[in-house]
């Protein structure tokens, strides 16, 4: 039997995307993305609940990585879908030693190099015992922990994780756009 997320995504297994179903999805059923708060790159609280009912794409980012040019694709997604309810969130991380140490350097790099104007968090840990609670939750929900920079978690309008996509999945790929289109078409919970 196909669950709601499988039906919403057309029952397709999106290659590198992990569509949730079964016991992994049920493991943390009590929590939703709206329960988490980051700190913004400017040092202000950034509760995900401010975007309740929207679709979130949360990506761990880095300034000095072979995947850093994916910022261009993330900006493109943000520009193409924000008016329809997609919020792209970049979460810079130094866990793989490929990020600036200072928030101001990250902000300048993102804005001046790639024109990033979507929300960015302050640098966070995305792996290990010190991982930010959001990333621990998302990994438990999907069965896919962050393995490198530019892993992507797509969150539905209901605050639940729809899918995980690896660093190799380009933001503007048909796979990513199809998943976003399906999530945006789903009714808010």
Provide the annotated active-site residues.
65
Q: Is 98 helix (H, G, I), strand (E, B) or coil?
A: coil
**Beta carbons of 97 and 117 less than 8 angstroms apart:** no
Q: Is 106 helix (H, G, I), strand (E, B) or coil?
A: helix
Dist. CA 175–CA 24, nearest whole Å: 22
**Beta carbons of 10 and 93 less than 8 angstroms apart:** no
Quickly list DSSP for 20-49: --HHHHHHTTT--GGG-EEEBTTSSEEEGG
Note the Cα 70 to chain centre separation in Å.
Answer: 13
**Beta carbons of 57 and 169 less than 8 angstroms apart:** no
Helices (H), the chain: 4-8, 22-27, 70-81, 103-114, 133-142, 174-185
**Beta carbons of 71 and 99 less than 8 angstroms apart:** no
């Amino acid at each position: 039997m196909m669950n709601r997320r499988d039906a919403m995504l057309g029952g397709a297994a999106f290659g590198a995307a992990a569509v949730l179903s079964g016991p992994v999805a049920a493991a943390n059923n009590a929590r939703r993305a709206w329960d988490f708060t980051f700190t913004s790159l400017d040092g202000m609280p950034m509760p995900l609940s401010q975007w309740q009912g929207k679709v979130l794409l949360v990506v761990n980012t880095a300034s000095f990585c072979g995947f850093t040019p994916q910022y261009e694709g993330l900006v493109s997604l943000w520009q193409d879908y924000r008016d329809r309810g997609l919020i792209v969130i970049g979460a810079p991380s130094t866990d793989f030693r490929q990020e600036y140490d200072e928030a101001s350097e990250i902000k300048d790099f993102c804005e001046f190099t790639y024109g990033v104007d979507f929300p960015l968090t302050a640098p966070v840990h995305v792996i290990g015992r010190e991982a930010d609670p959001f990333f621990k939750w998302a990994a438990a929900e999907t069965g896919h922990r962050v393995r490198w920079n530019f892993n992507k978690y797509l969150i539905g309008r209901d605050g639940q994780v729809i899918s995980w996509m690896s660093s190799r999945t380009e933001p503007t790929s048909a796979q990513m756009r199809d998943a976003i289109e399906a999530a945006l078409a789903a009714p808010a919970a």
